[in-house]
Copies of this chain bind each other. A is one copy, B any other.
Amino acid sequence: MGNTFGKMFAVTTWGESHGDAVGVVIDGCPPKIKLDESDIQSELDRRRPAQSKITTQRKEQDKVQIISGVFEGRTLGTPIMIVVWNQDARSKDYNHMKDIFRPSHADYTYQMKYGVRNWKGGGRSSARETVGRVASGAIAKLILRQQYSVEIIGYVKQIADMVSELEPEEVERSNIESNIVRCPDQKLADEMISKIEEARKNGDSLGGVVETIVKGMPVGIGEPVFDKLDADLAKGILSIPACRGFEIGSGFSSVTMTGSSHNDEFHIKNSVVRTKTNFSGGVQGGISNGENIILRAAFKPTGTIVKEQQTVDIYGNEVAFSARGRHDPCVLPRAVPIVESMTALVILDHILRQRGQVGSVMKNNNSKA
C-alpha cells in the first residue's frame, strides 16, 4: 500500500531499481491536453543518472514511453501509463549487498516489514522509483503552466555549510540550469561542485537544502483542516528518499521572531489584497493567499558511501561494509526536479479539488491586477 499520491490527479508509481522497468499510472489527468513524450523526457533528463560528473555514473538513458491515455497527441482523460525500461538491470554490481543491511538504507526495514526484499540496488526503496514521480510531475507542471499560469522553480539553496543568500524572488530558471549543481548563485555553485567532488574522492557524501518557489499561485487552494496545502506539501516532500525536514515560509526561523514582526500585514496593491511581507510562504490557514509559495526541503548526506562502515548481515553477524559501484556523492542536483514534481502534484491536485467544490478557481494576483 501507499504507492498512490493524490485524490483528483492520482499517481501510482511501480517498479524496482533493477527490475524490468519503472513507471507510473496517472488517473485523473484532464482530457484534451496536448502531450507528447518530449514534454516528459526533458524533465526526466534533469533527473537522469550520469548527467554530470557529480552524479552517479550508472548508465540509464531513461527513455520515456507513453503506453496509454494519449490519443492523437492529446490526453483522453483516462489513465496515462508511462514506462521507462531499466537498461542496466542485469548488473552484478549488487551481489555483495545481498545479505547486508546497509547503514541508513531501507534494507533492514523492508526485510522486517515484508519478510522479503529485492536486494538489487535497493529494489523498490531505490530513488529510481522517483522516475515515475518526475514523469507525472512533468505533466502536472505542464498543466499548471498552461492552464493556470503557475510556475514552479526549485533549486539548490545549500550544500553542506554553503548557503546561497539569494532571495527566492531573484531566482531565474536559467541561472539554475546553467550549472550542474543547480544552485542559482553561480559563484557558490563552483564551490559546491568542488566540495561534492572532494567528498566523492574521500568516499563520503554531502547533504543540502532544496528551496522552491511557486509563482502565480491562485488564491483559495487548500483544504482545511487536515488536507491543508502546506500539510500535503510536507507529506509529498518528506516522501522523497533522503528528505529529513520541511519548512513553509519562515519555517523554523519563525520560532525566534515575535508575532508583531512575523505577521504579514495586508494592504491593497493594484486593487488586489496582498501581504507586505511573506513570512507565511503563501499559505495561511492551510489555504493559498496568492503570494508566492516558498518551501524548503532538507536532504541528508547520501547513505551510500565507499568508506568502510560497521553493520549487520541478515544472519545476525556483525560485518564491515563498503559500497561498490557508482552512486551519487550528493543527491541535491538530481533532487531538484523531484521536489518540483511533488510540489506540482500537490498543487494541481488541490486546484482540481477546489474546482470540484466551486466550479472554477480564483485567478492569481497578477491576473487580477
Contact = CB atoms under 8 A, between A and B. Distances in A.
Contact of A69 (B14, B241, B255, B300): B14
Contacts of A81: 14-15, 21, 23
Interface string A249-260: 111101111111
The winner among A13, A259, A284, A354 for most chain B CB atoms within 10 A is: A259
Contacts of A109: 219-220, 222, 284-289
Contacts of A341: none
A237 to B, nearest CB: 7
Contacts of A255: 158, 160, 207-209, 298-300
A262 B104 contact: yes
Given A15-B67, A28-B357, A67-B15, A287 B238 contact: no
A78 interface: yes
Interface stretch (A54-62, A117-125, A167-175): A117-125
Interface stretch (A4-12, A39-47, A177-185, A186-194): A4-12
A216 to B, nearest CB: 16
Indicate how many identical chains form the complex.
Answer: 4
Interface in A200-219: 203-209, 219
Given A2-B224, A259-B302, A115 B238 contact: no
A359 B358 CA distance: 9
A96 B299 CA distance: 45
B285 A219 contact: no
A239 interface: yes
Given A23-B81, A273-B316, A112 B219 contact: yes
Given A104-B263, A224-B3, A301-B258, A25 B27 contact: no
Contact of A258 (B1, B117, B205, B225): B205
B30 A357 contact: yes
A113 B220 contact: yes
A204 B263 contact: no
Contact of A228 (B2, B22, B230, B231): B2
Given A117-B76, A209-B255, A241 B285 contact: yes
Contacts of A248: 238, 244-245
B238 A300 contact: no
Interface in A63-84: 67-69, 71, 74-81, 83
Interface string A96-116: 000001011110111011111
A239 B225 CA distance: 7
